[in-house]
Amino acid sequence: MILSKNISKSTGSVFSGKNLIAHGAIVVRNEGLSVLSLGNTLKATMSFEKERDYQRCRARIEALCEGSDDQIAKMASIVGVLHNEMNDFFWTGFYRVVEGRLVIGPYQGTVGCLSIEIGKGVCGTAAARGKTQVVEDVHDFPGHIACDERSKSEIVVPVTDESGALIAVLDVDSVEKGAFDEIDRECLEGIVAHVFGGAMTH
């Protein structure tokens, strides 16, 4: 497999002859490697890089939060690291449980919604069900609350304390569809469980 000298965006077209196969967003020369094999190789590479990035973020977050018993300070630290270190994190923040509602907490990105009813939208659904919500296309999610119309995909992780009580949700949005997957779910759940003492949600 030889990467074309002029890597370009494509729409998945296959060019005839001994030419270029456009797969995903990369154009490559076909030297006997199937498109399926190429796709699997690219996916594996991206997954490895994502896991590596999360490991780096978790180590930094744990160091920052060690010895702190202030929930808001820990939320701010988590947001600060994730938003600036992870790719495709367009909006990153917490909604805290306050008097039976989700109220905006520490976040980075464009202006977020001030409060969300539990059970409403992706954040409210995650809070009500106590289960991480991974949404490939937010426009297909019933009752989606659009704080910023540029958001295309979203992951929301419930956050519990040592007693198992819901204290917040961690919300991450991306301007790319399908930006979040099982790796994001496992890594984000692991981070909030370690920092706040709650259980993993899966």
Q: What is the CATH number of the domain that holds 152?
A: 3.30.450.40
Q: What is the pTM of this model?
A: 0.77
CA atoms within 13 A on the CB side of 11: 0
Domain membership of residue 138 as a residue range: 70-196
24, 82: one domain = no
Average pLDDT over residues 173-192: 97
121, 21: one domain = no
Average pLDDT over residues 156-184: 97
- Rounded distance between C-alpha atoms, residue 111 and residue 22, angstroms: 38
25, 83: one domain = no
22, 101: one domain = no
Average pLDDT over residues 127-131: 97
Average pLDDT over residues 70-75: 97
- Predicted confidence band of residue 89 (pLDDT cuts 50, 70, 90): very high
Domain count, the chain: 2
Whether residue 62 lies inside any domain: the answer is: no
Average pLDDT over residues 137-154: 90
The answer, yes or no, to whether residue 38 has pLDDT greater than 60, is no
CA atoms within 13 A on the CB side of 119: 1
